[in-house]
Every structure is written in structure tokens, then in C-alpha cells.
Copies of this chain bind each other. A is one copy, B any other.
Amino acid sequence: MSKTGTVNIQIVTGDARPIFKQIVDGIRMQIAHGDLQTGDKLPSVRGLAMQLTINANTVAKAYAELTAQGLAEARQGLGLFVAEPRQLLSEEEKNKRLNTAIETFVNDVVYLQIPEEDIKARLSEALTKIGRLKNTPKQDS
């Protein structure tokens, strides 16, 4: 794991998300999981584009997004690296985004007529899974 320049991303054609967002989400999730750690090198734009058989512009756009979010930083001539965790966002901003996310979620779910308890359970499970992954000691071969 966390080998230099290795990411594991699935591009799903039937996904509603644009491809560049799938890349951003994929890398962000791997950072959250700890699969990618501070200082790890991300694959080159062209390399990842070839690997995923998509346009290089699309990868570049994803990388720009990651940089803007402060999750990655470019070292001139060397490539893009996972940045050290820092907090770009104020508490207020974080709260606002959490609220937005919650609102979106409730909107998406409210009309499904699924019991509240089921939703909570499923969501709790999904959140816990991430937390656990993050804290699990990884064993390299």
C-alpha cells in the first residue's frame, strides 16, 4: 500500500457523477482511509489518464480540484503529492458544509418511505466503516 504513484480508482460508466469528480472522490477517500499518506506521490496526469483510458484534461481537472481543496500540492517538476493534513476551512465553513450535506441527504431519502431506524443504521455503518479503516494498522507485504 501507499506505494509511490499508485492509486486504486474505479471509473464507473453508469455513475451519475462526472468522471473528474469520481477521481477526486476516489483519491479523497483513499486519503481518508489512510491508503494514501502525507508525502505520497500521486500518479502523473498522463499516467493516470492512460490507466483509466480517459482524457488527460479530465485528470488534470481532478488534480486541480484536489489542489484547490488543499489535499494535494504540486512540487515543481516532480509531480503532485499528498499534502499534510491541515484545516483550510473555518469551523463555520465546516458546519455550513455539513448542514448542506445533511440537507441534500434528507432530500434524497425523505420520499423513499424507508423506516428512519433503517436509514440511521445504514448510515452509521457506512460512517463507522471509514473510521475503522482509517485507524486500522495496515500491513504491507
Contacts and interface: CB of A to CB of B under 8 A. Distances in A.
A76 B84 CA distance: 32
A131 interface: yes
A140 interface: no
Nearest to A87: B90
A100 B91 CA distance: 22
* Copies of this chain in its oligomeric complex: 4
A91 B50 CA distance: 38
A28 interface: yes
Contacts of A10: none
A19 B102 CA distance: 19
A92 B85 CA distance: 13
15 contacts: A14-B83, A16-B73, A29-B107, A32-B111, A71-B111, A97-B109, A98-B119, A101-B105, A102-B123, A102-B126, A110-B130, A116-B127, A116-B130, A116-B131, A119-B127
